[in-house]
Amino acid sequence: MDRHLPVVNAVARSYHLSPPDREDAVQTVWLTLNQHLPRLRSPEMLRSWLRRVTRDVCGRQRRQSARLQPVDPRSLPRDDSLRAPGPESAYLHKEEHDELRRAIRRLTDPGERRAALFYLDGAADEPFDPDGPRSADGQVNPRTAANQRRRMLRRLRRLLEEPT
């Protein structure tokens, strides 16, 4: 074994494996030799047999370690199909939306109804106040709009909780 160790190590080093992978490959070569020792017919062919087995084992080790390379998840392409809602969640979302629209139709104040539809449709980037208090320059007071929105949402919640 001591006589053939430099040959096995040289072949393993030529594959540029990481030290742990190279050690695993060398150990596997010696284990394979131990298993095949009774089948070896000529001792003078042992050196070439060890080279061949070492090349096979190191190639296998290289392929295996290439499959297990760590990858930064941010570098992977995004798969938006995983985030797409399934048919069941799309149906539930539609049901919630329809129920909310029914509750909005039950609101008594037409201005409040318009405001609720405005917020429901997702256009609520700026405060909506159909006829609420305005400041001297004609702008809607954000605090007043927020309070009106809060009251409207409270009424909608009550309407949604009522049995129909």
Nearest in space to 29 (alpha carbons), one of 56, 3, 10, 2: 56
92 and 33 fall within a common domain = no
Question: Exposed (0-12), middle (13-18) or buried (19+): which is 90, by Cβ within 10 Å?
Answer: exposed
Nearest in space to 7 (alpha carbons), one of 35, 41, 33, 36: 33
The residue segments making up the domain with residue 40 are 5-67
53 and 91 fall within a common domain = no
pLDDT digits 0-9 by tens, 7-35:
999 999 999 999 999 999 999 999 999 99
pTM for this predicted structure: 0.43
Residue 43: inside a domain, yes or no? yes
Number of domains in the chain: 2
Residue 79: inside a domain, yes or no? no
Q: Are 144 and 104 in contact (CB under 8 A)?
A: no
What is d(CA 64, CA 60) in angstroms, rounded to the nearest whole number?
Answer: 6
Count of C-beta atoms within a 10 Å radius of residue 24 = 18
145 and 97 fall within a common domain = yes
pLDDT digits 0-9 by tens, 78-109:
776 667 778 898 899 899 888 888 888 888 88
